[in-house]
Amino acid sequence: MISLKNLHKKFGKNHVLKGVDLEIERGGIFAILGPNGSGKTTLIKSILGMVIPNSGTIEIEGKKVKKDWKYRSKIDYLPQIANFPANLTVKELIRMIKDLRSNKSVDDERLIELFKLEPFLTKKLGNLSGGTKQKVNIVLAFMFDSPLIILDEPTSGLDPISLIRLKELITAEKEKGKTILITSHIMSFVEEVTNDIVFLLEGKIYFKGSILELKSKTGQPDFEHAIASILSNNYD
């Protein structure tokens, strides 16, 4: 599904990605983890075409993405921060996004009901709480039927009921055969929903595999201690 080969990216003197090689198979839920500054966001934005690597190749479904923007129509993306136009209502924003992607089938009404957004449809986005904005963010990310979904910190600001619904939604999309990439600092969430993890540190991949394999490799009894073990071994 996604193939990254020898990916390098520099911002001035800051070498953010250092020869990243990564293969992500079609279908399943994959978490891209790492501390702040590890290169997670740059990696995600490179896949999305929002950052252009200095060298290396990115292929999605066997096709190189360089100079081919059309591949983005097969990706749904939830950004970490929902920067919506404050003067638009929720209904106007959803309609605008639907118009921009007019060739895609839409499942917005079910998602609006799922996250109980009906009372907010006529509210201006600038007046909404952070948690409600995140629910709108989720609706926009899941309402199109794309084979690849990228979720950057999707749990941010969610109440417990909405978090349960998000987990159920992610699982349902996986069962359709979709590929889902997630970044999150909430290890319990990652452990509950993902199949495999990729751990980045200082622009390099230090681990790719299942959580069970990570526990075995580090000799740690739980996921959080296994992640901490990687960090301590590389920072000590």
Max CA distance (Å), the chain? 53
Nearest to 173 by CA among 29, 40, 68: 29
Strand partners, 184: none
pLDDT 10s digits, 21-55:
999 988 999 999 999 889 999 999 999 999 999 99
pLDDT band at 66 (very low <50, low <70, confident <90, very high): confident
What are 134's two structure tokens? 């995140």
Sorted by where each begins, the domain ranges of the chain are: 2-235
Q: CB under 8 Å to 158, separation ≥6 — which residues?
A: 131, 134, 135, 166
pLDDT in tens, 102-116: 766 788 999 999 999
Tokens at residue 216, please? Answer: 């075995």
> Is the pLDDT at 235 greater than 50, yes or no?
no
Mean pLDDT within 151-170: 95
- Asked whether residue 148 carries a pLDDT value surpassing 80, the answer given is yes
Instruction: Work out the percent of the chain whose per-residue pLDDT is above 90.
Output: 81
**CA neighbours closer than 13 Å in the CB half-sphere of residue 163:** 13
What is the model's pLDDT at position 231?
85
186 three-class SS: coil
Rg of the chain (C-alpha set): 18
Query: What CATH number does the domain located at 2-235 have?
Result: 3.40.50.300
Mean pLDDT, the chain, whole residue set: 92
H-state helical runs in the chain: 40-48, 90-100, 108-114, 130-142, 160-175, 187-193, 211-218, 223-235
d(CA 57, CA 25): 17
- The length of the chain is 236
pLDDT tens, residue by residue, 182-221 = 999 999 999 999 989 999 999 999 999 999 999 999 999 9
Whether the per-residue pLDDT at 236 is higher than 60: the answer is no
Average pLDDT score over residue span 88-105: 87
Nearest to 154 by CA among 94, 146, 140: 140
The pTM assigned to this predicted structure is 0.92
